[in-house]
């Protein structure tokens, strides 16, 4: 009996130790993830003189100031970048959603000749890396004189084969009976799509929309290639511009204020739609 108790005690200690190690490890990674965020907020609150006076950077500040934020929004047209990005994200996402919904409906609901062939071609396009098509798109947009326009920014960013596929899978799960019932009632296909299919697939559509908005917010390469006029910069290009010749190279606190301002909208979206985003990403991750 004594022996048994000892053994139990031993396992208990062993379990506690392993729990401590696990928590320590997880906390360590959490700190690694959070630290850059902490540092950008901290640096953005230090005054210019204070920041540059610290030969050894301090981990806290006793004299926080919002001066840097004021500077970030007045010295560079940060507000303009924000407006551009929101406009770009909203229009791109709306067009993408319309185009994808219609196509997904055709694949899921309608019967037509060559459907399987066309769908296979669509699927195989998912494997084409963007880098391969960017070159021609750049030439196309340049030749159409669409550089430094929203049309040029938006059009090539609309296509998203994967979302068509995701929506199609979702639509295909909706029972046929609903469709036939609607047909008997004389509902047109388009009305059925908008009034029945779209509302039923709302969760998927919401995650698609959020993921596309995140993608737009963070897109850098295409806007970088197609715009060199500050009036059309998105936040990514704006931040790059700020880095290269924004506030004068050394004004790190103002830079950090701009970085915080750019990061906050997405973090808020993430905290609000946490579940949709994470299921959306894990779904799109398991597409293979």
Question: Which CA distances in Å does 142 have to 148, 158, 198, 241?
Answer: 9, 18, 37, 22
**Does 111 participate in binding another protein (rule CB under 8 A)?**
yes
Q: Which is nearer to another protein, 206 or 225 (CB)?
A: 225
Q: Which is nearer to another protein, 29 or 63 (CB)?
A: 29
b/e per residue, 149-169, with b = 16+ CB within 10 A? beebbbbbbbbbbbbbbbbbb
CB 212 → another protein: shortest distance, Å?
13
Q: Are 254 and 68 in contact (CB under 8 A)?
A: yes
Site for another protein in 174-233 (CB under 8 A): 189, 214, 217-218, 220-221, 224-225
Please tell me the count of residues contacting another protein according to CB under 8 A.
89
Q: Are 269 and 214 in contact (CB under 8 A)?
A: yes
1, 49, 56, 184: which one binds another protein (CB under 8 A): 56
**Does 52 participate in binding another protein (rule CB under 8 A)?**
yes
Site for another protein in 116-175 (CB under 8 A): 118, 122, 125, 128-129, 131-140, 155-156, 158-159, 161, 164
| Residues 146, 176: Cα–Cα separation, whole Å | 44
The H-assigned helical ranges of 56-129 are: 67-75, 78-109, 115-125
| Residues 196, 185: Cα–Cα separation, whole Å | 13
Q: Give backbone dihedrals phi and psi of 110, rounded to 5 degrees, phi first.
A: -95, 150
**Does 10 participate in binding another protein (rule CB under 8 A)?**
no
| Residues 265, 86: Cα–Cα separation, whole Å | 10
**Three-class secondary structure of residue 273 per DSSP:** coil
97, 166, 256, 257: which one binds another protein (CB under 8 A): 256
**Does 103 participate in binding another protein (rule CB under 8 A)?**
yes
**Does 34 participate in binding another protein (rule CB under 8 A)?**
yes
Site for another protein in 268-287 (CB under 8 A): 269-271, 274, 277-278, 281-282, 285-286
Instruction: Report helix, strand and coil shares of the chain as percent, to nearest 5.
Output: 80, 0, 20
Site for another protein in 59-88 (CB under 8 A): none
**Does 20 participate in binding another protein (rule CB under 8 A)?**
no
Q: Give backbone dihedrals phi and psi of 108, rounded to 5 degrees, phi first.
A: -85, -30
CB 150 → another protein: shortest distance, Å?
16
CB 34 → another protein: shortest distance, Å?
6
CB 40 → another protein: shortest distance, Å?
5
Per CB under 8 A, which region of 5-13, 62-70, 173-181, 260-268 contacts another protein? 260-268
4, 60, 113, 175: which one binds another protein (CB under 8 A): 113
Q: Is 258 left (phi over 0), alpha (psi -120 to 50) or beta?
A: alpha
Per CB under 8 A, which region of 5-13, 170-178, 194-202, 234-242 contacts another protein? 234-242
């Amino acid at each position: 009996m004594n022996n048994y108790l000892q053994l139990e005690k031993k396992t208990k200690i062993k379990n506690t130790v392993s729990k401590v190690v696990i928590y320590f490890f997880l906390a360590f990674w959490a700190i690694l993830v959070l630290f850059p965020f902490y540092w950008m907020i901290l640096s953005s609150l230090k005054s210019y003189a204070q920041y540059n006076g610290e030969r050894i950077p301090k981990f806290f500040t006793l004299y926080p100031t919002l001066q840097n934020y004021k500077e970030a929004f007045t010295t560079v047209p940060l507000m303009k970048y924000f407006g551009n990005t929101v406009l770009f994200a909203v229009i791109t996402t709306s067009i993408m959603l319309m185009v994808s919904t219609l196509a997904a409906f055709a694949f899921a609901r309608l019967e037509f000749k060559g459907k399987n062939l066309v769908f296979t071609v669509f699927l195989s396009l998912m494997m084409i890396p963007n880098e391969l098509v960017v070159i021609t798109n750049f030439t196309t947009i340049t030749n159409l004189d669409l550089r430094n326009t929203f049309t040029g920014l938006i059009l090539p960013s609309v296509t998203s084969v994967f979302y068509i596929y995701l929506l199609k899978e979702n639509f295909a799960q909706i029972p046929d009976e609903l469709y036939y019932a609607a047909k008997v009632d004389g509902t047109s296909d388009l009305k059925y799509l908008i009034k029945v299919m779209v509302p039923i697939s709302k969760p998927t559509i919401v995650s698609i929309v959020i993921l596309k908005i995140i993608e737009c917010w963070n897109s850098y390469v295409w806007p970088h290639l197609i715009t060199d006029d500050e009036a059309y910069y998105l936040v990514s290009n704006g931040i790059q511009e700020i880095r290269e010749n924004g506030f004068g190279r050394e004004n790190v606190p103002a830079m950090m204020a701009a970085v915080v301002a750019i990061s906050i909208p997405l973090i808020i979206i993430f905290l609000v739609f946490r579940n949709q985003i994470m299921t959306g990403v894990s779904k799109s991750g398991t597409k293979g």
